[in-house]
Chain A
């Protein structure tokens, strides 16, 4: 499957503005994105994946990161992008989730939206139509998603992992955290890795829950 972002294929949003075709080979990325879209509750996962990739491409920082991390027909010596892999994947997740919500919202003919309401901003009833969210809006959605992840998942972590992640989040280095907690740096690295992995486990369960709730 080749990305055909500029064409009107199955599932292409009627209201989406004219797009530029994405150069490069992202076939395998589209397959895994489609799988994620399915998990998130999309009825047309391939179209959702294609739409998400196209919208991601429209952000210049995302573009460079997509090229570096996922484009398959690019030289290995291309310069590292401004975005880390974390940022790119979080961004892709946000755009994909928005696209899936949009798809569901369109199906339900529920067009009212208010992103600053207290309810879940991702609820399809709250996704605007016609809509092509700007970067700011997507950044806000991403921010809310990250906040939700922390509020739901962080309290479930072991206390040691919470401590390390809290200090790391405050910008401390390994040696500083080690000194603060009276542990070896290797222990801190292990706790940090396990803390993130446990958090990721919770994120995965949450994603599965999102798909089931749709």
Chain B
């Protein structure tokens, strides 16, 4: 065997720590540890830790120290057997006496402080957040893209050209037709400099990579230049980011969303549309596990929305709810509390109101206010539509767990 390197040893030791090595691999590690007293020390300390965890009842809380030290009087084998039988009972018993004491009971927190999660499990020991955009387990309510998975989808362009004129209709090439729909407006120019304008026409038909407009009485000729509105182009960029994400190209999706967000700043779009672009970027940041960037972008989007007097309570509520969930996942509970309390409860969408109530319940659980948490979860469940079974299951799991805590 060649002389083991530090990285080899570290990697093996990590696997040994999590119990993933075979006896032969353990032997290899043991022999390698003889190369250096420091390695042997490391391995011995790891082995002692593993042995401690596997043969001694793990302390549930400091007050129980006297109890779990008593097996000193027993032989090792007896202690192991007793530990396996007694610990689960002991922990359940303890839970009845103090809500602040963690337990391994299936529907109670197992750690010192509840940690919010987005992952659904029917018997989750942790409070589960509801956040429509972040909930990876829940299908997003974006428009379904009926398109192939091909890699070579063309990038949408802000301007294109007329490629044929026939039977009163002009066919235009704009790269991707993402963002265009029947009735979308396009401007026609005679020159590339976009100075000599023909007029504004409406899209009559959208194909996979081309779209047609009705010419009417306008002077539209081959190679004339077409420009889509800023709003449609932004929509096209975001739609393509969605497509890249759906194909698993998260890096590409983030890059495109970032471009879209930057492009939208000077563009002629509404503040809400600009906020939407930043929000898409934030969601992709989150999916890429870059929570700091996600928070920055969610906050930027929120700043935009709050300055727009025309922002709908639903848009604002959704963004605040997502951001609150994100900051809770990052452990900033004060910020989450502020966001949730600012969140308008007058949203027209019951699922948004329920989301807010569920997440207020999570926050109450974190603060160990079980009664308040139960109240919030109950209210959330009462207004959650029956056609949202995933959301209902999450809130039901939260309610079931918290009911066992007081």
Contact = CB atoms under 8 A, between A and B. Distances in A.
A204 B104 contact: no
A20 interface: no
Interface in A8-32: 28-29, 31-32
Contacts of A68: 23, 27
B41 A39 contact: yes
Interface in B45-68: 45-60, 62, 65, 68
A166 B56 CA distance: 10
Nearest to A143: B76
A181 interface: yes
Nearest to A184: B119
B226 interface: no
Grouping DSSP codes into helix (H, G, I), strand (E, B) and loop, the B interface class, with mixed when no group exceeds half, is helix
B296 interface: no
Q: B interface, how many residues as a size bin?
A: 35 or more
A59 B187 CA distance: 90
Interface of B: 13-20, 23-24, 26-27, 29-31, 33-34, 36-37, 40-60, 62, 65, 68-69, 71-73, 75-76, 79, 83-84, 87-88, 102, 104, 106, 110-113, 115, 117, 119-121, 123-126, 128
Q: 9 tightest CB-CB pairs across the interface, nearest first?
A: A35-B37, A89-B47, A159-B111, A80-B23, A199-B49, A193-B18, A32-B40, A196-B17, A200-B45
Contact of A165 (B14, B58, B128): B58
B61 to A, nearest CB: 9
6 contacts: A80-B23, A85-B16, A93-B44, A143-B56, A159-B113, A196-B53
Contacts of A181: 110, 121, 124-126
Contacts, number: 203
A21 to B, nearest CB: 21
A130 interface: no
Given A89-B47, A147-B68, A150-B58, A182 B117 contact: yes
Contacts of A194: 17
Given A89-B44, A146-B48, A203-B48, A169 B54 contact: yes
Interface in A64-92: 68-70, 72, 80-81, 84-90, 92
A214 interface: no
Given A69-B30, A86-B54, A179-B121, A204 B45 contact: yes
A68 to B, nearest CB: 6
Contact of A36 (B41, B46, B68, B106): B41
Interface in A34-83: 35-36, 39, 68-70, 72, 80-81
Contacts of A28: 34
A35 B52 contact: no
A192 interface: yes
Interface centre among A88, A192, A196, A207 (most CB of B within 10 A): A196
A183 B48 contact: no
A33 B44 CA distance: 10
Contacts of B13: 197
A110 interface: no
A207 B41 contact: yes
Contacts of A196: 17-18, 46, 49-50, 53
Given A87-B51, A166-B110, A189-B18, A151 B59 contact: yes
Contacts of A147: 52, 56, 68-69, 71-72
Contact of A180 (B31, B115, B125): B125
A132 interface: no
Contact of B46 (A31, A183, A200): A200
Given A170-B87, A180-B110, A192 B34 contact: no
A204 B59 contact: no
B110 A163 contact: yes
Q: A interface, how many residues as a size bin?
A: 35 or more
Grouping DSSP codes into helix (H, G, I), strand (E, B) and loop, the A interface class, with mixed when no group exceeds half, is helix
Given A143-B72, A151-B59, A169-B54, A92 B44 contact: yes
A90 B76 contact: no
Contacts of A85: 16, 23, 26-27, 29-30, 47
A63 B112 CA distance: 42
Given A150-B58, A162-B111, A204-B42, A32 B37 contact: yes
Interface string A117-154: 00000000000000000001001101111110111011
A188 to B, nearest CB: 9
Contacts of B60: 166
B25 to A, nearest CB: 10
Given A32-B33, A200-B42, A69 B52 contact: no
A168 interface: yes
Contacts of B62: 155
A209 to B, nearest CB: 13
A160 interface: yes
A143 B112 CA distance: 26
B37 A180 contact: no
Contacts of B36: 32
Given A31-B37, A182-B128, A170 B110 contact: no
Interface centre among B16, B18, B30, B87 (most CB of A within 10 A): B18
B84 A69 contact: no
Interface centre among B23, B26, B44 (most CB of A within 10 A): B44
A84 to B, nearest CB: 7
Contacts of B48: 86, 89-90, 93, 145-146, 149, 200, 203
A85 B123 CA distance: 35
Contact of A192 (B19, B24, B44, B119): B19
B110 A167 contact: yes
Nearest to B33: A32
